[in-house]
C-alpha cells in the first residue's frame, strides 16, 4: 500500500512538491483556494481538498490519515500549522519559513515521538545542510552564504520579480539581520553592508544583509557566519528609500476615513509589478563558502548553484530549488534514512554523510546541481 502524504498549501512551491511526490506516493494537496488546486495537470494523480489551513482543527482533520505532512503555507501561518501537525503525531517537512523559533516546538515533537525537518528549502535549507556536513568533519571558522532569485530581464525601476507575495519579500528587507562575529550574535539593519560580487554568466550582483542564518545562530558554534541576499545593483537602494519613507511600516494610518497600514498598501501596489509571469525566464543563484581547519591545514569549500526555470515543466527555478530539497527530505523520512525525533533544522540532517549524499543525488536527478570547488 502506498504511503500517504498530505501537502498543506498549493501555491507555486506546494504544487511542485505535490507533483514530485505523486510519482511514488499517494498525495493529497490541501488549500483554501480552489483556483490553486485546479492548476494541477490532469495526468497527475493528486487528490485535492479545500480547507482553511489557518484553522488548526481543519489541519488536524486534513492530515488524519497521513504518513507524512509537508508544510508549505505562508510564513505567518507556519508556526501554528507546524504545532498542529506535531500535536497530531505526524512527521513533517516544513518550508513555510515562519519568523518564530521552530526549536521552541522541539519538546512537543519529542513528546509525540515524531521527526520534523524545518526550513527545508534552498536557503535556508541546502546552505544549512552544506554547513552541517562540513562542520561534522572539521572545525569551521567561517560560513558565508549569498543567495537570490531574479528575473533574467531587468526592468526598471525594481529589476525584480517575486515568485511569492511581496509582503514576504519586504519582510526580508525590514527584519533585523543576525550575524555571528567573533563568536557572538550581532544584529545589523536589513539591507545594510552592501557589496558587489561577480558571477559567471550573470555579471555583477549586489549583496546585502538579511536575517537568513536562523537556527544556525543557536546550533552552530562558529566564530563568523553571515547570510546575504543577492539582487541586481540598484534594487537595494530603492528598497532602502521606500523603507526610510515609511512605506514598509505596519502601524495603521487613516486614509480617506479608513485605517490601512503602509505595508499593506505598498504590497498591493507592488503585487502586479513584481508578479512573476508563467514561463517568465528567471534563475536562482547561490554561493556557499565554508572555511576551517582540515588535517591541520586551512581549507575552504565553495558550492555554487545556478539554476534556471524549466520551460518543459513550467516550474520556476525558485520552486524547483526549494521544492526538490523538501521532497528529498520527505523521502529520507519515508524511507527510514533519517529518524531523529524532535525539531530538526537542515544542518542536523546534513551532518549525516549518507543523508547529505542522498540529498545531493536527489537534486542532481532533477537537474539542480551544486558545483563544489575547494582550496
Tracing cell 523603507 back to the chain, one arrives at 243
Mean pLDDT of 229-244: 97
**64-93 residue pLDDT tens:** 999 999 999 988 899 999 999 999 999 999
pLDDT surpasses 90 at 237: yes
Which segments of 37-175 are extended strands (E)?
46-50, 68-71, 92-94, 115-117, 140-151
What's the confidence (pLDDT) of residue 1? 75
**What are the domain boundaries of the chain?**
4-121+318-374, 126-308
**110-134 residue pLDDT tens:** 999 999 999 999 999 999 999 999 9
Rg (CA), the chain: 20
What's the confidence (pLDDT) of residue 25? 97
DSSP state of 78: H
**Which run of H or of E encompasses 306?**
strand 297-308
Tracing cell 511542485 back to the chain, one arrives at 16
**CA 375 – CA 361 distance, rounded (Å):** 23
**CA 293 – CA 10 distance, rounded (Å):** 44
79 contact partners, CB below 8 Å, separation of at least 6: 98, 100, 102, 105
Tracing cell 519579500 back to the chain, one arrives at 169
CA nearest neighbour of 5 among 331, 354, 241: 331
CATH architecture of 4-121+318-374: 3-Layer(aba) Sandwich (3.40)
| pTM score of the predicted model | 0.94
Q: How many CB atoms lie within 10 A of CB 58?
A: 18
What's the confidence (pLDDT) of residue 277? 82
Q: How many CB atoms lie within 10 A of CB 182?
A: 7
pLDDT surpasses 90 at 374: yes
The sheet that has 115-117: what strands, in order across it?
46-50, 26-31, 4-8, 68-71, 92-94, 115-117, 342-344
Q: Which three cell numbers stand for residue 67?
A: 504518513
**CA 321 – CA 352 distance, rounded (Å):** 21
CA nearest neighbour of 100 among 78, 70, 124: 78
pLDDT surpasses 90 at 305: yes
What's the confidence (pLDDT) of residue 4? 97
Mean pLDDT of 356-369: 98
Say which CATH topology domain 126-308 has: Dihydrodipicolinate Reductase; domain 2 (3.30.360)
Q: What is the largest CA-CA distance in the chain?
A: 68
Long-range CB contacts for residues 173-176, cutoff 8 Å, separation at least 24: 173/210, 173/239, 173/243, 173/248, 174/243, 174/248, 175/99, 175/210, 175/211, 176/211
**Alpha carbon distance, N-terminus to C-terminus of the chain:** 48
Tracing cell 547570510 back to the chain, one arrives at 227
Report the residue count for the chain: 375
Amino acid at each position: 500500500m502506498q504511503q500517504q502524504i498530505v501537502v498543506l498549501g498549493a501555491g507555486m512551491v506546494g504544487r511542485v512538491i505535490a507533483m514530485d511526490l505523486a510519482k511514488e506516493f499517494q498525495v493529497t494537496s490541501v488549500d483554501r483556494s480552489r483556483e490553486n488546486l485546479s492548476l494541477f495537470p490532469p495526468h497527475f494523480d493528486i487528490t485535492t481538498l479545500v480547507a482553511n489551513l489557518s484553522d488548526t482543527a481543519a489541519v488536524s482533520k486534513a492530515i488524519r490519515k497521513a504518513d507524512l505532512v509537508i508544510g508549505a503555507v505562508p510564513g505567518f501561518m507556519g508556526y501554528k500549522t507546524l504545532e498542529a501537525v506535531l500535536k497530531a503525531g505526524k512527521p513533517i517537512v516544513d518550508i513555510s519559513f515562519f519568523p518564530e523559533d521552530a526549536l521552541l516546538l522541539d519538546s512537543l515533537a519529542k513528546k509525540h515521538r515524531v521527526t520534523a525537518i524545518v526550513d527545508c528549502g534552498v536557503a535556508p535549507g541546502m546552505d544549512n545542510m552544506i554547513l552541517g556536513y562540513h562542520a561534522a568533519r572539521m572545525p569551521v571558522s567561517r560560513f558565508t552564504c549569498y543567495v537570490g532569485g531574479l528575473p533574467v530581464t531587468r526592468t526598471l525601476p525594481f529589476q525584480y520579480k517575486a515568485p511569492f507575495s511581496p509582503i514576504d519579500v519586504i519582510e526580508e528587507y525590514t527584519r533585523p539581520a543576525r550575524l555571528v562575529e567573533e563568536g557572538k550574535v550581532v544584529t545589523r539593519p536589513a539591507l545594510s553592508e552592501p557589496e558587489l560580487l561577480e558571477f559567471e554568466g550573470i555579471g555583477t550582483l549586489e549583496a546585502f544583509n538579511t536575517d537568513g542564518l536562523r537556527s544556525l545562530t543557536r546550533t552552530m558554534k562558529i566564530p563568523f557566519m553571515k547570510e546575504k541576499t543577492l539582487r541586481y545593483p540598484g534594487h537595494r537602494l530603492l528598497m532602502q528609500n521606500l523603507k526610510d519613507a515609511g512605506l514598509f511600516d505596519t502601524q495603521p494610518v487613516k486614509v480617506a476615513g479608513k485605517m490601512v497600514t503602509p505595508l499593506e498598501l505598498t504590497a498591493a501596489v507592488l503585487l502586479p509589478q513584481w508578479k512573476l509571469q508563467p514561463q517568465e525566464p528567471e534563475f536562482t543563484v547561490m554561493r556557499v563558502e565554508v572555511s576551517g581547519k582540515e588535517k591541520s591545514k586551512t581549507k575552504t569549500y565553495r558550492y555554487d548553484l545556478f539554476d534556471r526555470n524549466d520551460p518543459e515543466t513550467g516550474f520556476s527555478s525558485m520552486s524547483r530549488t526549494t521544492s526538490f530539497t523538501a521532497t528529498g527530505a520527505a523521502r529520507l523520512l519515508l524511507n527510514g534514512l533519517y529518524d531523529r525525533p524532535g525539531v530538526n533544522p537542515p544542518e542536523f540532517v546534513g551532518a549525516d554523510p549518507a543523508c547529505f549524499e542522498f540529498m545531493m543525488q536527489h537534486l542532481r536527478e532533477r537537474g539542480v546541481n551544486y558545483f563544489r570547488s575547494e582550496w
